[in-house]
Amino acid sequence: MIKPHGSDRLSPLYVEDPQQRAELEREAGGLPKLLLSSAAAGNAVMLGAGYFNPLQGYMGKADALRVAESMHTTSGLFWPVPILNLTADPAAIQGASRVALLDPNVQGNPVIAIQEVSALEELSPAEVDLITERVFRTLDPEHPGVASFLDQGRHLVSGPIQVLNYSYFADEFGDTFRTATQIRAEIAERGWDTAVAFQTRNPMHRAHEELCKMAKEAVGADGIIIHMLLGKLKPGDIPADVRDAAIRKMVELYFPPNTVMITGYGFDMLYAGPREAVLHAVFRQNMGASHFIIGRDHAGVGDYYGAFDAQTIFDEEVPAGELQIEIFRADHTAYSKKLHKVVMMRDAPDHTKEDFVLLSGTKVREMLGEGIAPPVEFSRPEVAQILMNYYQKQVA
């Protein structure tokens, strides 16, 4: 199986030993407390689950700036996005060497991790702009990722962490949430040597289904890992539980047995386009995927990124040899009325737009809200029914 990024073995930061975990929870009662942002809590979950291997905690200013500028830490580790614990008000932890980190996404704000404080530093406005512009390629506060980043504050709390739980993800998505360690174990258990990973924050329609099948065949993979984001999205995106149900129905009915793993991870969407695509590749390597599908406008939002920027970044900005995972570059995929099957548009140069079944996201949402199923060439009927049930509840 493919090696993790930056090391021979995964080093997840979740404290597995129940006794040690109980001792840390008792210690947390007497420590200064810091209520995390949702983004920092997501980072803790990803560190705990081994997805952010080989990082040992939150980055300090020097690493944050170096990663933003060059996609490398000060020690030379390739890393595409700063992994931060930002706060607007550090008064409660001033002078503390260890702090209890509180989860903002669970009622009662329980302790999610204990952090050893290496440094407490403030980013200047110019440094905030530098990180924002390099990571998101825009300073526009209307960009949802930029808005979230700017809302977290300018004080960096850096240092290693010990993770005590996986927030709400393990409880609310018990059938889907998996750590990188668990996915590696299941790949081995299934006897797969190679696996192609598919990222999604949306339900999967026919084009996504066929894209996964195309990629598996093209790279000769043993299986497909559908790996869905379970954290916070922008307003209007479909909730994780609805996506999960739709994807499970599609896999149950339209994929051969033992060819698909349905999994999810606990992280908030950044909408950082190309940089986030590289981060996605890093943690898919950590979970054991040998290949990763990147399509049009991967991890994008609005018109902030070019259609294939998330692919070209691997050619133009990711140095050779930094990642072992291989990228499967996908074009827009749609049903061809001429060929009577789903194809990538680049593979049908004789087609015009009228030769494809194409529906905008807005049009699909309108149809579902009105109880009208999209054409079977666009969406499997059983999947459409799950989505119609959801949308009709929203408009009721």
pLDDT tens, 233-267? Answer: 777 778 888 889 999 999 999 999 989 999 999 99
Q: Are 73 and 63 in contact (CB under 8 A)?
A: yes
Query: Does residue 390 or residue 394 have the better pLDDT?
Result: 390
CB neighbour class for 29 (10 Å; exposed up to 12, middle 13-18, buried from 19): exposed
157: which 2 tokens?
Answer: 């709390």
The question of whether 201 is a catalytic residue gets the answer yes
Q: Are 186 and 70 in contact (CB under 8 A)?
A: no
- The CB-side HSE value for 334 (13 A sphere, CA atoms) comes to 19
Residue type, 48: G
Does pLDDT of 361 surpass 80?
A: no
Does pLDDT of 395 surpass 70?
A: no
* Helix 125-136 with 273-286: angle, nearest 10 deg: 70
Instruction: Exactly one of 202, 243, 275, 346 is catalytic; name it.
Output: 202
Long-range (24+ apart) CB contacts under 8 A made by 144-147 are: 144/234, 144/269, 144/271, 144/301, 145/269, 145/270, 145/271, 145/272, 145/301
Q: Which pLDDT score is estimated for 396?
A: 59
- Model confidence at 216, pLDDT cuts 50, 70, 90, reads very high
SS3 percent helix, strand, coil of the chain, rounded to 5, is 40, 20, 45
Residue 268 CA to residue 102 CA, distance in Å, equals 17
Tokens 């969407």 correspond to what residue? 269
Q: Which pLDDT score is estimated for 80?
A: 98
Average pLDDT (284-312) is 95
Average pLDDT (87-101) is 96
Does pLDDT of 202 surpass 90?
A: no
Average pLDDT (267-282) is 96
Residues 114-157: pLDDT tens digits? 999 999 999 999 999 999 999 999 999 999 999 999 999 999 99
Domain ranges of the chain: 18-170
CATH number for region 18-170: 3.10.400.10
Does pLDDT of 63 surpass 90?
A: yes
Q: What is the full DSSP assignment across 252-290?
A: HHHS-TTSEEEEEE-------HHHHHHHHHHHHHHTT-S
Instruction: Exactly one of 21, 98, 201, 248 is catalytic; name it.
Output: 201
Q: Which pLDDT score is estimated for 382?
A: 94
The question of whether 109 is a catalytic residue gets the answer no
Average per-residue pLDDT for the chain: 94
